[in-house]
Structure 1
Amino acid sequence: MNPIIESLRGTLVVSCQAYPGEPMRDPRTMAQVAAAVVAGGAAAVRAQGIADIRQVVATVDVPVIGLWKDGDDGVFITPTLDHAVAVAEAGAHVVALDGTRRPRPDGRTLAQTVAGLRERADALVMADCGSLDDALAAQDAGVDILGTTLSGYSGERPRTDGPDLELVDQLVASCTLPVMVEGRVHTPAQAAEALAHGAFAVCVGTAITHPTTITGWFADALVR
């Protein structure tokens, strides 16, 4: 197994992202957040956008999973080969991309995208999947890591309140690649439960690095 992937076995990955228009939407801020989560024990960081990836890679000494969100509907997580190459060239050790079976904006299949990336850059590939069929197709396409990131968002599975553990069970039973649980992991107990279901690693974002949402959880709990 690749040493970068092996270093993630049984660990916490933290996604450090802020959205357009938010106060923390600045690459330097995201790099500081990344440094803070690494100090707290994160084994890797997930970063979005070319500027953020470059800043985070320069700041932390753990693997960086990079992606580029372009758009807000359909396939928008590193949607094309050009996006994937740019993410790799920004320094990401792992390129995360949409791993669903939906049409991609540049007309390439996932397999063609992975092959093209391998020809132009030295980076691992994580497929953000929404279902078992996505994961099986992504595995056949030659990716290195399977993520549950798009479960509940691609239209194939219902959106669970917490991580989609049923999908985790399916992927662990049917796929040979490492499975990273990502999406709606809101508590340490849920993260531990995901590992107990056979996940290789767990990625947490909002519950650690998005103070606006976290504050909203507390504020809503106080409304009577």
Structure 2
Amino acid sequence: MVDNLKHKLIVSCQSWPGTPFYGDPRMMRAMAECALMAGAGGIRANGPDDIREIKKTVPLPMIGIWKAPDKRGVRIITPDFESAEKLADAGADIIAIDATAEARPDEEELRELVGRIRSELKLAVMADISNAEEAVRAERCGADLAATTMAGYTSYTVKTDGPDLDLIETLVRTVHIPIVGEGRFSKPEEVQEAIRNRGAHSVVVGTSITAPWEIAARFVRAI
């Protein structure tokens, strides 16, 4: 499944509270169908309901996440094994988890979660990280691939204007697992740069494809 995503565009189909798409999985299925029509190689979606709906008509590899409160009450990506299990039941092919030190400071807990997903659910694990140290830790804990999803979104990393291409390049040289570029990709040239010149295995793009209100706002700001 991981190999099938090599040099492919993964479209993140997610909705946010207060937007017209929120709360209706059929909207996310329509968005995923558009991604399929465009030739995308995979989908990333949030929650069992959206994943189950998308899988009805979209036969692409599915990276499943579930943004939910952890035991501290902090909302993170796939907080526990139970949430991962529900994503698997809904049809996820790869389970993405927050693997930052901020969200999961205990390495043994991270290792246990990754191990259970791989051994009990028989699914690959994508570690969403924010820096090189977290990618090394994720690899050590058994993750199958790492994504730059959280770069710039932890208290100890800097949010770059666009995608953190330098981090991608550093990760490719630092760990042996595939690196997925994710976060603030807005131009096709950035995706091309990440894969062709920086060594990314694949790239996830969300807002710039699946959030039309944000896309429209860029044109409004230009005027």
TM-score (norm 1): 0.92
Aligned 8 A contact 1:84 1:117 in 2: yes
What is residue 98 of structure 1 aligned with on the other side?
98
- Residue 190 of structure 2 is aligned to residue 186 of structure 1: no
Q: Aligned-residue CA RMSD in angstroms?
A: 2.0
User: Compared with structure 1, are the counterparts of its residues 103 and 43 closer, same or farther at alpha carbon in structure 2 (3 Å cutoff)?
Assistant: closer
1:15-68 per-residue CA deviation (whole Å, 9 max, x = no partner) reads 011112311121011011101111101000001111001111222111010100
User: Where does residue 177 of structure 1 map in the other structure?
Assistant: 177
TM-superposed CA distance for 1:75, in Å, is: 5.5
Match of 1:13 in 2: 10
Contact kept, 8 Å, 2:67 with 2:75, in 1: the verdict is no
Displacement of 1:79: 1.4
Share of identical aligned residues, percent? Answer: 40
In structure 2, do the counterparts of structure 1 residues 81 and 138 end up closer, same or farther at CA, with 3 Å as the change threshold?
same
Give, in whole Å, the separation in 1 of the partners of 2:40 and 2:192. Answer: 14
Number of matched pairs: 219
Cα separation, 2, equivalents of 1:139 and 1:151 = 17
Change (3 A) 1:108 1:89: farther
Deviates more, 1:39-48 or 1:76-85: 76-85
Q: Is the 8 A contact 1:181 1:199 kept in 2?
A: yes
Of the candidates 33, 36, 40, which is equivalent to residue 34 of structure 2? Answer: 36
Deviation per residue, 1:74-110 (Å, 9 max, x gap) = 5611112211121112110000110112354999721
Is residue 80–residue 104 contact of structure 1 (8 Å, CA) maintained in 2? no
Q: 1:145 Cα deviation (Å)?
A: 1.1
CA distance in 2, matches of 1:185, 1:118: 29
Q: What is the one-letter code of the residue matched to 2:21?
A: M
Task: Provide, for residues 128-182 of structure 1, a one-character-per-residue CA deviation record: whole Å limited to 9, x for no partner.
Answer: 1011011000001111111000000012220001111111111000100000000
Structure 2 unaligned residues grouped into runs of 5+: none
1:34-113 to 2 correspondences below 5 Å = 34-71=32-69, 76-104=76-104, 109-113=109-113
Task: Report if aligned partners of 1:129, 1:151 keep a CA contact under 8 Å in 2.
Answer: yes
Number of the residue aligned with 2:133: 133
The one-letter amino acid paired with 1:172 is V
Q: Give the match's secondary structure for 1:185.
A: coil
How far, CA to CA, are the matches of 2:190 and 2:129 in structure 1?
19
Gaps of 5+ in 1: none
| In 2, Cα distance between equivalents of 1:163 and 1:202 | 10
> Equivalents in 1 of 2:55, 2:105: separation in Å?
28
Change (3 A) 1:103 1:205: closer
Give distance in 1, aligned partners of 2:137 and 2:105. 18
Shift of 1:192: 0.6
Distance 1:52 1:30 in 2: 6
1:131–1:151 contact (8 Å) kept in structure 2: yes
In 2, the alpha carbon distance for the partners of 1:160 and 1:105 equals: 24
Partner of 2:213: 212
Q: Tell me if the contact between 2:43 and 2:62 (Cα under 8 Å) persists in the aligned partners.
A: yes
Instruction: Answer whether contact 1:129 1:148 (CA < 8 A) is retained.
Output: yes
